[in-house]
Amino acid sequence: MGHHCCGKHKVKRGLWSPEEDEKLIKHLATHGHGCWSSVPKLAGLQRCGKSCRLRWINYLRPDLKRGSFTEQEERTIIDVHRILGNRWAQIAKHLPGRTDNEVKNFWNSCIKKKLLAQGLDPNTHNLLSSNQAKINKNNKPINSQHFTIDQNSSPPKDEPHIPLDLKASIAAFTCIPNNEPHKYPLKFKYGPTGGYQYQNPSQNKLVTGFGTSCSSVESTSNNLSSSPSSSLNPAPGLGAMNVENSMWGTGAFEPLFGPDRFVHHQQQQQEMYKVNTEFCSNNVQNMEMVNTFDDSSDFDFDFGDDSALLPFAAVYCDANSMDQLAWDNC
């Protein structure tokens, strides 16, 4: 019995022999693949077209890079996966010479375990937590928060200068619902492969600090090219901010500059919470608005046992293909 794509032709399955490989290579070298379904017949193979295509794409293509993944490739996979999820073909496009199948296998066999070992959920890249509040269009959150951003404040002296000569520089963030800051002291995740990452500013790479899917940021897109004043008008739980000139925000943006920042700015956070709490108590119903752009979208808000992942922040700072990728996929 043949495959559905091959009618009733009897086809061979399983591993390819060197002879079969040779036939396929020879045929494709002289004729190209054209219509894949006709390839097996023309190449003299007892395979279905689909199998030929797969063999060529995943194994025989001359431009394939063999061997194990480099650290750089691994980082790229994690970064892109954080944005795109399990879209292996899209991820593979960022890795010349690698196939979607290869990336997928590498993810499942290696990266997934590494993330889990770091306490990160491989699907969301968030910290794994025992308590999870799920918010969707059918479930109102208990409350919501609103961040205030001080665009005029400067970074502390001991923190690195981040070049912010940004083109379409946008910072978007979401935050978890929580009006009891004393109960949920701030906690951010850090690590080389997930969560908030500090990257060398001299490389002008600042894509970091994700806590939610990019789709969650979509509703902020109306603010993308607005002036700083108008862009500082985020919906409850979601916000967008123009960082065209310079920006030092509070809350969501601080992890970019190192884990100690919260120690330095605890007072600032308390003030922020005050505003947030007040805001939340009046705007619970507005949270639904955030969820209206996609019927299927869910919002996951994670709480640590004794702490909260306060902001789900995504900061995109120009000059990095990852930024573009993130926005392209919003």
Partner DNA sequence: AAGCTCGTCAACCGCACCCCA
Partner DNA sequence: GTGGGGTGCGGTTGACGAGCT
Judge whether 294 and 156 are in contact, CB under 8 Å.
no
Closest CA to 78 of 199, 200, 184, 160: 199
Query: Are the CB atoms for 188 and 310 separated by under 8 Å?
Result: yes
DSSP labels, 206-219: --B---S-GGGGGG
If one asks whether residue 13 binds DNA (CB under 7 A), the answer comes out as: yes
- 298 makes contact with DNA (CB under 7 A): no
Measured from the CB of residue 6, what is the shortest distance to DNA in angstroms?
9
- The first and second tokens of residue 212, run together, are 């939610």
For residue 53, state whether it binds DNA (rule: CB under 7 A).
Answer: yes
Q: Which residue from 87, 92, 90, 32 is spatially nearest to 56, judged by alpha carbons? A: 32
**Could you tell me which stretch among 34-42, 129-137, 167-175, 245-253 binds DNA (CB under 7 A)?**
34-42
What's the CA gap between 314 and 211, in Å, rounded? 7
| 9 is a contact residue toward DNA (CB under 7 A) | no
Q: Which DSSP symbol is given to 62?
A: T
- Least Å distance between CB 92 and DNA? 7
CB of 26 to DNA, least distance (A): 17
Binding-site member from 70, 86, 202, 230 for DNA (CB under 7 A): 86
- Contact call for residue 36 and DNA (CB under 7 A): yes
Q: Is 105 an interacting residue with respect to DNA (CB under 7 A)?
A: yes
CB of 192 to DNA, least distance (A): 18
Q: Which of 9, 25, 37, 246 binds DNA (CB under 7 A)?
A: 37
DSSP assignments along 169-205, one per residue: -EEEEEE---S-TTTS-EE--B-SSSSB----GGGT-
Q: Helix, strand, coil % (nearest 5) of the chain?
A: 40, 10, 45
Our finding on whether 270 is near DNA (CB under 7 A) is: no
Q: Which of residues 208-267 bind DNA (CB under 7 A)?
A: none
Exactly one of 9, 42, 90, 142 binds DNA (CB under 7 A); that residue is: 90
117 is a contact residue toward DNA (CB under 7 A): no
Q: Which of 29, 35, 117, 263 binds DNA (CB under 7 A)?
A: 35
227 SS3 class: coil
With CB under 7 A as the rule, give the number of residues binding DNA. Answer: 39
When asked if residue 3 is in the footprint of DNA (CB under 7 A), the reply is yes
Q: Does 110 bind DNA (CB under 7 A)?
A: yes
> In this structure, are residues 268 and 156 in contact, taking their beta carbons and an 8 Å threshold?
no
Contact set with DNA (CB under 7 A): 3-5, 12-16, 33-38, 47, 49-51, 53-55, 58-59, 68, 86-90, 100-102, 104-106, 108-110, 113
